[in-house]
Amino acid sequence: MSRPPRRGINTGCLEGRRILVATGGGSISIYRVPDIIREMRREGGAKVKVAMGGKASQALISHEVFRWASGNDVITEVSGRLEHISDVEGSDALVLMPASFDTIGKCANGIADEVQPLMFSNAVGSGVPVLFVPAMHQGMFRSPALRRNTDILRSMGALFVEPVVEEGKAKLAGPAEVIDAVARALAGQRGGGRYLVVSGRGGEEVIDQ
Ligand SMILES: Cc1cc2nc3c(=O)[nH]c(=O)nc-3n(C[C@H](O)[C@H](O)[C@H](O)COP(=O)(O)O)c2cc1C
């Protein structure tokens, strides 16, 4: 029996959009990312490509899971094909998920020795919208270094999808929140002036100009 079409608040909001998801190896919350990608496609209608960050990421989860979730071959290294240039510039948005404390710090400070910060470095200079989806323990999330680094990234135009803070952790946002944030970021681009900041820290600003 065929599955009935899904109808939700985010249905079709990413139709035809090309989303590049770069994963990091630093957070066990990576186990939730395939589900979010699947929903980006099924619910949002997006075309999704995944770039996996190094051996640590691939030790936690197989690229085959991401191939299934995205319906696309997975980038597992940066090669002579210059994936950090071609795949970033061929995308409508770059989503760093999960974004660790470490990755956020690297991106804010111009370090590009891993797939996530490398892709970020080109996206932010090429005008491709970037969203960070952080996950870490609450103490790390409250650290002054994280606040300083997220402030720097916001000043570069990056967006943050707010984590769910519970049980002493800042947990990865869910599929609906991620899809909504990406759609709003892209709608802001189309609309010429409307801009949403979804903060990586508790309940911050929404700017609607
Ligand atoms: C089991 C385990 C879980 C971890 N979870 C997180 C996490 O959720 N968030 C985070 O920022 N760092 C976490 N860390 C620390 C990161 O793994 C470490 O900072 C790593 O260098 C980040 O790599 P990445 O930036 O490529 O993701 C964890 C470490 C271990 C051993």
Q: Which domains does the chain have, with CATH numbers?
A: 18-190 (3.40.50.1950)
In ligand 1, the atom with minimum distance to the C-alpha of 103 is 25
One-letter amino acid of 138: Q
In ligand 1, the atom with minimum distance to the C-alpha of 140 is 11
User: Which DSSP string corresponds to the chain?
Assistant: -PPPPP--TTTTTTTT-EEEEEE-SS-GGGGGHHHHHHHHHHTT--EEEEEE-HHHHHHHS-HHHHHHHHSS--B-S--TT-HHHHHHHT-SEEEEEEE-HHHHHHHHTT---SHHHHHHHHHHHHT--EEEEE-EEHHHHT-HHHHHHHHHHHHTT-EEPPPEEETTEEEPP-HHHHHHHHHHHHHHHHHTSB-----SSTT----B-
Query: Quick check: CB of 29 below 6 Å from ligand 1?
Result: yes
CA angle centred on 162, ends 156 and 165, rounded to 5°: 140
- Check pLDDT > 80 for residue 55: no
Q: How many angstroms separate the alpha carbon of residue 100 from the centre of ligand 1? A: 6
> What is the model's pLDDT at position 49?
97
> What is the model's pLDDT at position 26?
81
Nearest CA to ligand 1 atom 15: 26
- Min mean pLDDT across 61-75, 110-124, 161-175, 180-194 is at 180-194
Please give the average per-residue pLDDT across 149-168, as a whole number: 97
- Check pLDDT > 50 for residue 159: yes
Q: How many angstroms separate the alpha carbon of residue 8 from the centre of ligand 1? A: 33
> What is the model's pLDDT at position 6?
59
> What is the model's pLDDT at position 5?
54
Instruction: Report the predicted TM-score, pTM, of the whole model to 2 decimal places.
Output: 0.88
> What is the model's pLDDT at position 203?
35
